[in-house]
Chains A and B, each alone.
Chain A
Amino acid sequence: MSREAILNSIRRSLAVTGAEDSRRQAVAERIGAHRPNLIPERAKGDGVHRLTLFAEMAEEVSATVQRVKKLDELPSAIQGFLRAHNLPQAIRHGADPLIEALPWQQHAPNLERRRGRAVPADETSLSHAFAGVAETGTLILHSGPDNPTTLNFLPDNHIVILAAPDIAGTYEEVWERLRRKFGERNLPRTVNMITGPSRTGDVEQTIELGAHGPRRLHILIVEQL
């Protein structure tokens, strides 16, 4: 068995047996404590600082950011985005309760909404982010029926709702929130950290947007829930 051969070779090189209590304790302790390492100063600050920094960093990597005061404003903001880019009035989204509860009938009666995972024909998808990270303008989304992962990658245009209180300073704060939601040492199948739309630098190190994933990433920040 290669498993034993590899572990034995490692132990021979390190001159250990694998049965040492002190080593086993060190490993269990580190995994159990999952202490944060150095946190950059940039990421520290109150909600206003986090929101401003998030928007700044996301725009720097070619995401577009639009702030709305209340949830009720989202359907018309989404319609406005589709109109501004000459896109069909149709979106794909999952079973997210926040999205389902929006006043679609009242504010966007002509908008076609398809449910479930994305298919190649979908031009625009809508997701609700689990969190934002101010440090680098990064969105955090995870798999599941509420926001299927294909929505993040297949359509050309990705619209993401982000609640201002969900904007964390750092990645580490989001790890803690994931642990609160899914338990210690447990993650959903996919956690996506998304920083701007898809891009490539493979032709002459020149950045070109829309390599395989979305060409446009539009972030709608809701200030009050």
Chain B
Amino acid sequence: MIESTAPAFKENARKALADTVLQSALSIARPRFVDKRRKAKDRLPEFDALRDQARDIKNHTLAHIDLYLEAYEAKVKEQGGEVHWAATPDEARDIVVGLCRRLQAKTVTKGKSMISEEIDLNRALEQAGITPIETDLGEYIIQLRGERPSHIIAPAVHLTKSEIVADFRRVHTHLPPGRDLSEISTIVGEARGILREKYVEADVGITGANYLIAETGTSIIVTNEGNGDLTQILPKAHIVVTSIEKLVPTLEDAATILRLLARSATGQEFSAYTTLSTGPRRSGDPDGPGEYHVVLLDNGRSRMLGGEFQDMLRCIRCGACMNHCPVYMAVGGHAYGWVYPGPMGAVLTPSLIGVENSALLPNASTFCGRCEEVCPMRIPLPKMMRHWREREFARHLSPPAQRSGLALWAYVARRPRLYAFASWLGHRILRTMAGRKGRIAALPLAGAWTRHRDFPGPQKMTFREQWKRRPR
């Protein structure tokens, strides 16, 4: 399992806020993601109705997931493929490494897969003497840097062009050092040239899956580059690493969710390549992989069913929640400290690795509600973060200052007259401090806030005073 630095979120966030490269990269990304999604949504009047249906499709599937998995597995077998069940990341890694060994693989090309990150597959392959080559441009860049993706659909969103150019010059030493890499097109062209050879050399291609279809035993990937396709059609075997909740019943159900995915993720009407893969190549096919394997990971997902976190299993990994999250867009994905960042990560990470290893993540939110507002699968993310906070509190995992603060508040709140006096006093003090400008530049105990921005002064009256004077 990948080590989690989530408990150090505060420290990670402090560093991220001071990181000028990250801040400039995020300021480029933020408006692009948000504007594109809004335009795509506005163009499809049925968008919200489709969200309702997509939610219902997944709810139905999850309620019958045992049976759909059986139906899916039977179909994959019938089509000549194999399904391998993995309860834990360890098992999943062993299965993939075992398959690669049997196929005598020296190099493996990889399409972008978050499950591969979750099980830390590249490290396991390297330890087995097999070279994994990430082919998605963003993943390729972060592999060169020895980093992890900072976003689930845009892995290198934390970098600007100049870092990428520096990495290419550092690693691609066989190319002329004085070459021109000033345009994005030349950067993309260089990666294209290098990866082209790798596709042809690779013995095995590994991709993830956006969906699995029970009706036909099909796995679907959605990409823009075409890397996932070259990865799976050129080598002698295609291995899909995926997880149990990616299942949908039929092709029709997949179509409905596909209408939401690209629009929510990149604001495209449809991604350039949506590929349905069913079994290995058929007799008479001139190309395609000779073997087709699906590794189905559980890793705690089955335990999320039937409980307060089941809704999280509807997630289609579009990234809209993080694209619209003020916290994510201030600190970037690495600060979250594990595989999945942003609001979806704040909910999913504690489910997968335990709240004790991801403390603070459910607190990395202002509860502004934007994530739930844009989620194509209508996942109540803030509500679930609140559930985690409650569990954290119940298990005494929250910091002492927070606990004693809450205890003090509870003491006062249970004594109405004391509460009225205390809020009146606090209100007067803050109003005096705010002065005529109505803003407070420095506030004791709230330095973390006022170092970066003013604290707004209170209104004329307290809530209780306003309540008393309300017209009846």
User: Which of A's residues lie within 8 Å of B, judged by CB?
Assistant: 1-3, 5-7, 9-11, 13-16, 18, 23-24, 26-27, 30-31, 34-38, 40-42, 57, 60-61, 94, 116-118, 120, 136-138, 143-145, 148-150, 152-154, 170-172, 175, 185-206, 208, 210-214
Contact = CB atoms under 8 A, between A and B. Distances in A.
B225 A212 contact: yes
Nearest to A196: B272
A14 B285 contact: no
A23 to B, nearest CB: 6
Given A195-B269, A212-B192, A200 B225 contact: yes
Contact of B50 (A38, A194, A213): A38
Q: Which of A6, A23, A40, A196 has the most CB of B within 10 A?
A: A6
B137 A10 contact: no
Nearest to B187: A203
B282 A197 contact: no
Centre residue among B66, B189, B215, B275 by max chain A CB count within 10 A? B66
Contacts of B250: 30-31, 34
Interface string B303-326: 111110000000000000000000
Interface residues of B, number: 101
Contacts of B251: 34, 171-172, 175
Nearest to B300: A9
A170 B254 CA distance: 13
Contacts of B226: 153, 198, 211-214
Contacts of A118: 287
A199 to B, nearest CB: 5
Contacts of B244: 6, 10
Contact of B45 (A11, A41, A211): A41
Interface of B: 25, 28-29, 32-33, 44-46, 49-50, 53, 57, 60, 63-71, 75, 79, 85-87, 91, 135-138, 141, 154-157, 160-161, 164, 184-185, 187-189, 191-192, 195-196, 200, 214-216, 218, 224-227, 229-230, 233-234, 244, 249-253, 255-256, 258-259, 266, 268-282, 284-288, 296, 298, 302-307
A138 B271 CA distance: 10
B223 to A, nearest CB: 9
A24 B87 CA distance: 24
A152 to B, nearest CB: 7
Given A14-B306, A136-B270, A188-B278, A9 B298 contact: yes
Nearest to B155: A202
A144 B46 CA distance: 36
Given A2-B87, A189-B282, A200-B225, 15 more contacts: A2-B298, A36-B255, A136-B270, A143-B282, A148-B286, A153-B229, A189-B279, A190-B275, A191-B275, A194-B273, A204-B28, A211-B191, A212-B227, A212-B230, A213-B272
A27 B183 CA distance: 52
B63 A143 contact: no
A211 B249 contact: no
10 closest A-B pairs by CB: A213-B226, A211-B225, A202-B138, A13-B305, A9-B302, A136-B270, A193-B274, A191-B276, A34-B250, A202-B137
Contacts of A185: 75, 215-216
Given A150-B233, A195-B269, A186 B298 contact: no
Contact of B303 (A9, A170, A198): A9
Given A170-B255, A201-B224, A10 B229 contact: no
Contacts of B229: 149, 152-153, 192, 213
A201 B306 CA distance: 38
27 contacts: A6-B298, A13-B306, A34-B251, A34-B252, A37-B256, A61-B268, A116-B286, A138-B270, A143-B281, A148-B285, A148-B286, A153-B229, A171-B258, A187-B276, A189-B282, A190-B275, A191-B278, A192-B229, A193-B270, A194-B273, A198-B226, A199-B224, A203-B184, A211-B192, A211-B225, A213-B226, A214-B226
A5 B87 contact: yes
Q: Which of A5, A144, A193 has the most CB of B within 10 A?
A: A193
A63 to B, nearest CB: 10
A36 B226 CA distance: 28
